[in-house]
Amino acid sequence: MTPLASRAFPFATRFHSGLAALLFAAAFVVAAAVPPPAGTLQGEVLETRNVDSYTYLRLKTAGGEIWAAVPTTGVKPGGRVTIGNTVVMENFESKTLKKKFDKIVFGQLVDPAGASPSGPVAPPAPPQAAMTIKVEKAKGPDARTVADVVTGKSGLKGKSVLVRGQVVKFTGGIMGKNWLHLRDGSGSAADGSNDILVTTKNIAALGDVVSVKGTVRTNVDLGSGYSYAVLIEYAEVRK
């Protein structure tokens, strides 16, 4: 090796080593800066409380502590979870837990890689919230209240109905459809006659008062242990 080459070699080695370190650091920063997918919540489980059909999770997140609720799971404190299909509810009261939450997130567990929800293929009905809903019944020969559809499902099976109510849960893009739960103030939370599941290609936001027109279906089994005694399918949603 020539004297010039011997002097240049250590410099080249240091240069390439430094460049590699910089590239590695840059890659780490980029990876660390990638936010979780939209509509998801990530955090460490600090506490769990199980109730019928749901598990409440107290999470430590980048933005602080927050409570979340997902379909029943065996997650333990100390684990990390990602929750998808999130819906935020404020001033929510759980009568089962005898606890009121200033803010709580409802959703479904997904894996850290961002795969599809590991729970049901369609969203379950949201827990009963401490809120008063009163929506005027739709007009026309096919008009029904939520309670009319739920309690009269046998006679309405396969028929078209028009229902007006408030959207209390909306989950989009599952099985090629959007799924929403509608309430109008009729029926009873005790027997579930106050809530109806609707499938549609249309979009609606939480809290919207809408009219839906679709076909009544009964005893629908979606797999994964989720079945519905009644729902309104292929609905057209209008505000």
CATH top-level class of 41-110 = mainly beta
Tell me the pLDDT tens digit for each residue of 167-220: 988 887 777 788 899 999 999 988 889 999 999 999 888 888 999 999 999 998
Q: What is the DSSP letter of 204?
A: -
Domain ranges of the chain: 41-110, 143-238
- Domains 41-110 and 143-238 in one fold: yes
Would you state the structure tokens that stand for residue 224, as one six-digit string? 């994964």
Task: Identify the architecture of domain 143-238 in CATH.
Answer: Beta Barrel (2.40)
Tell me the pLDDT tens digit for each residue of 67-115: 998 877 888 999 999 888 777 777 877 777 888 888 888 877 875 433 3
Residues 6+ apart with CB under 8 A from 198: 163, 179, 180, 181, 182, 212, 214, 231, 232, 233, 235, 237
